[in-house]
Structure 1
Amino acid sequence: MNFTIVLSMLLYCSLILAQDDVNVPETERTNETQSCFPDMCEFLKEFGAMTEKQRVMETRLKNGETRLKDAETRLKDSETRLKDSETRLKDSETRLKDSETRLMDSENQILELKSKEKTVVVFSAAAGGSGHIGPFNTDTTVVYKVVKTNIGNAYSQFTGTFAAPVPGIYYFTFFYHAGGSQRVSLTLIKNNESVVTTYDHTTSHDGADNGGNAVFLQLQQGDQVYVRLGANTHVWGDNFITTFSGFLVSQV
């Protein structure tokens, strides 16, 4: 805009000079032309060069502004892609943590299952001795002194009591042999509570009796199971014919 104004003024001045030249004698006009026009031509050349430089600079400026806008656009696109990548990375990290948690849970479950598989509890014992056990005037725990099997050492041959080493489902059996002339009463006890019983009445025509019972029990660690002989009843203990057995079916 400034160059346009200057150019307009120069043209205006040239017109004024041209008008003045009409009233000037030929000789003077020739002298003036020789002294003034070379300067004007030089100025116009310089002005044209400056105008061209300005045009070039403006073009370069516009190109620079365009490239700057393009760079800003690419930068925004890069920032957007970076944010998207960060979001996907966070999602991947979250999924990875979830997978690690599930993996740890699975490993713990496998270890627990392996631990359960390794836990073996089995016992079997006989009353032993010679002759009969009882009768006693009170209920009495039968101590099965002859241990045949005691994997896990959960049965005590000194007290006749089985103590559950782990929580789980257990299976118990108890059998007896006794004379028919006296009553028989055996009860499986869990923590002082009666569970199942085997019983036989006195008969005059029966020389001997056999009987027993069995049961599945869910036990907690430390629960106690034993067999109680009822008051004024008896069983025979010789030849390992009165037994108490049990084993762990499954941990829970």
Structure 2
Amino acid sequence: MDFAISLFVLLSSSLILAQDDGNAITEKPDETRTCQPDMCDLLMAFGAMKEKIAAVETRLEDSETRLRNSETRLKDSETRLKDSETRLKDSESRLKNSENQLLELRNKERTKVIFSAATGGGQAIGPFNTDKTLIYRTVITNIGDAYSPHTGIFVAPVAGVYYFTIFFHAGGHEWAGLLLYKNNQLMIMTGDHQTEADTADNGGNAAFLQLQPGDHVYVVLAANSHVWGTSHTTFSGLLVTQM
């Protein structure tokens, strides 16, 4: 554009100089000054060229504006697409969490742990000179198979809160004592002292225990104590709530 303007100024100057030179040689006061034919054609062509260049520049600016607008719309579309993808991922995460919660709830509903067993045998058990794990061999119920009648030990299958009870029947002529353990920790106990007046004694206790999978719960017959091996001496437990 600057080149065209410079060319126009140069041509105009040349025209003026040519007219001045013609007037100096053939000056006629009554004649109208005109440009030489070749110069006039050149100036007309130059003017047309300027108009075309201006039109091309206008169209170029319009094209650049439309291109910028298109780029802006494209960026907006990409932003909306990213937002949609983010919302989709959030929805998928919430759906997965809901499915996991539903699966966990179903597993909790399926996990049922209930057992009850008695010593049985009809004879006195003990006394022994050391503590001894009491084995309740007569299984009344064992839903979940968490209690073993071979070892006398209950093994927690899932984490949760469990409820346990122990009861005994024994003769009054010897001390009776039962201890409920969680792993190696004494939790509760029940017992009765030796008396000459009572021919039989009964006792019991109960507790809620929070257990983790694999925790052991069992009953120990205290050293130098005894119980009768009957249906009166029982060990029971159940899963109250899973955690």
> Normalising TM by the smaller chain, what interval?
0.7 to 0.9
Equivalent residue in structure 1 for 2:234, among 232, 238, 243: 243
Tell me: CA distance 1:5–1:193, structure 2 relative to 1, closer, same or farther (3 Å). closer
Equivalent residue in structure 1 for 2:157, among 157, 165, 177: 165
CA distance in 1, matches of 2:167, 2:45: 120
Aligned position for 2:172: 180
Equivalent residue in structure 2 for 1:62, among 54, 58, 70: 54
Instruction: Please show how residues 12-91 of structure 1 align to structure 2 within 5 Å.
Output: 12-16=20-24, 18-19=26-27, 44=37, 47-91=39-83
**Number of equivalences:** 232
**Residue-by-residue CA offset, 1:88-113 (whole Å, 9 max, x unaligned):** 44454445444434443443333233
After TM superposition, give the deviation of residue 148 of structure 1 in Å: 1.3
**Residue-by-residue CA offset, 1:45-70 (whole Å, 9 max, x unaligned):** x6544433332221121111122122
Q: Which stretch of structure 1 is more off in the superposition, 70-79 or 212-221? A: 70-79
Are residues 1:8 and 2:16 paired? yes
Aligned position for 2:207: 215
Q: Which stretch of structure 1 is more off in the superposition, 173-182 or 240-249? A: 173-182
After TM superposition, give the deviation of residue 77 of structure 1 in Å: 3.1
3-state DSSP of counterpart to 1:56: helix
After TM superposition, give the deviation of residue 178 of structure 1 in Å: 2.2
Paired amino acid for 1:221: P
CA distance in 2, matches of 1:42, 1:233: 141
Aligned position for 1:225: 217
Aligned position for 1:130: 122
TM-score, scaled relative to structure 1: 0.78
**Which blocks of at least 5 consecutive residues in structure 2 are unaligned?**
1-8
Paired amino acid for 1:161: I
Q: 4+ residue stretches of structure 1 with deviation over 6 A?
A: none
CA distance in 2, matches of 1:242, 1:191: 21
Let me know the Cα RMSD of the aligned residues. Answer: 2.9
**Which blocks of at least 5 consecutive residues in structure 1 are unaligned?**
23-40
**Residue-by-residue CA offset, 1:178-218 (whole Å, 9 max, x unaligned):** 23333211111222322111111223333332221001111
Contact 2:15 2:35 in 1 (8 A): no
After TM superposition, give the deviation of residue 156 of structure 1 in Å: 0.7
3-state DSSP of counterpart to 1:138: coil
Q: Percent identity?
A: 55
Mark the structure with the bigger radius of gyration.
1
Aligned position for 2:4: none
Tell me: CA distance 1:19–1:137, structure 2 relative to 1, closer, same or farther (3 Å). closer
Aligned position for 1:156: 148
Q: Which stretch of structure 1 is more off in the superposition, 193-202 or 11-20? A: 11-20
CA distance in 1, matches of 2:71, 2:28: 68
Is the helix fraction higher in 1 or 2?
1
Q: Which stretch of structure 1 is more off in the superposition, 81-90 or 140-149? A: 81-90
Paired amino acid for 1:150: N
CA distance in 2, matches of 1:42, 1:87: 63
CA distance in 1, matches of 2:82, 2:91: 14
